[in-house]
Structure 1
Amino acid sequence: MPEDANGQGRYGTDLLGITTVISVAIYLIPEGAHFFEMFNKLKMSSVDYMTMQRAYDGWALFGVAIVIAVGCTLGHAIAMWDIPVARWLSLGALALLIGAQVIFWCFIYPMNALTRNWTEIPANLGVVRLQWEYGHAASAALTLLALVLALCAVLSGVRGSSQPTRQV
């Protein structure tokens, strides 16, 4: 069984690290899809845009992935507390994931509510769809950066666990 510098088994933290990266990657899937669809969707007519929005019915289930990603990232930060680089990278990833949620609840969700989950066309559809699309683009950027930081945290945690620890 692989051991860290203190003679402790690492399988638990290795598994947590892998789960963290995978969960953040899964969280990135819908955000990335929104980002890459945005360019074509913004060219659509109002009717076509509203029809396309119905493709997202059921995507609320990705909320589970978000909760898991945030929880795993927090757990990884705690597990890596004695490895400063891994800890701060994990906390940075966590902050970015929380930032993506702030964007969702402040800019995206209100548009979902305004349109009754895209079943009603608001008078100001142009503004509504820009806010919704750009909100998702910003959220995708934060989530991608969170994935990079989470991966770096896991890699630095693996490397750091094989070296003597020191408190910072």
Structure 2
Amino acid sequence: MRFLAIILTGLAVIAPAAHLFELRHKMQMSEQDYFVVQRIYVGWWVVGLFLPASLIANLALAVQVRADKLALWLAGAAIALIIVNLAIFLTWTNPVNVATDNWTVRPEDWQTSRRHWEYSHAVNAGVTLLAFCAATLASLRMKA
């Protein structure tokens, strides 16, 4: 379970980190170029499944390490951070996905939509990286 929590949480970092690394260039794109580039994300919802899988793995990890208070706290932190990621996604990212029909419809104020979508992914890169660190530390902790 420890290995699975590390791997799944690490895999959950990939998509938001990719968005973070491309953020600077995408925020400078014209409307036309931006909508062309957004087509590369068709089918990325599958990658999003790593997040609920990591939530389940970290819940199982918390049960497994419950006798070690620090490891339990770290696993709980990973769980809380994954829930924060989901809240950010549901509050800022997904409403833009719906409003733009996954960037196939151009909203009137597309730049605001772009900001919400891009920055919510960037914040989630940091949140998910912290979850990965917490899950890793919880998994590596050996009770003396």
Corresponding residue for residue 84 of structure 2: 99
Query: What are the residue-to-residue correspondences of 1:7-156 with 2, within 5 Å?
Result: 16-156=1-141
Query: Separation in 2 of the partners of 1:123 and 1:68?
Result: 36
Amino acid at match of 2:76: L
RMSD: 0.7
Q: Which moved more, 1:89-98 or 1:64-73?
A: 64-73
Q: Which moved more, 1:26-35 or 1:60-69?
A: 60-69
Gaps of 5+ in 2: none
Higher-RCO chain (CA-CA 8 Å, sequence separation at least 6)? 2
Query: Separation in 2 of the partners of 1:47 and 1:35?
Result: 21
Tell me the TM-score normalized by structure 1: 0.84
Number of residue pairs matched by the alignment: 144
Structure 1 runs of 4+ with >6 Å offset: none
More helix by share: 2
Structure 1 vs Structure 2: percent identity of aligned residues?
34
Note the C-alpha offset of 1:64.
Answer: 2.2
Tell me the TM-score normalized by structure 2: 0.98
Gaps of 5+ in 1: 1-15, 164-168
User: Once the two structures are superposed, what CA deviation does each residue of 1:109-140 show, in whole Å capped at 9, x if it has no partner?
Assistant: 00010001100111101111001011001111
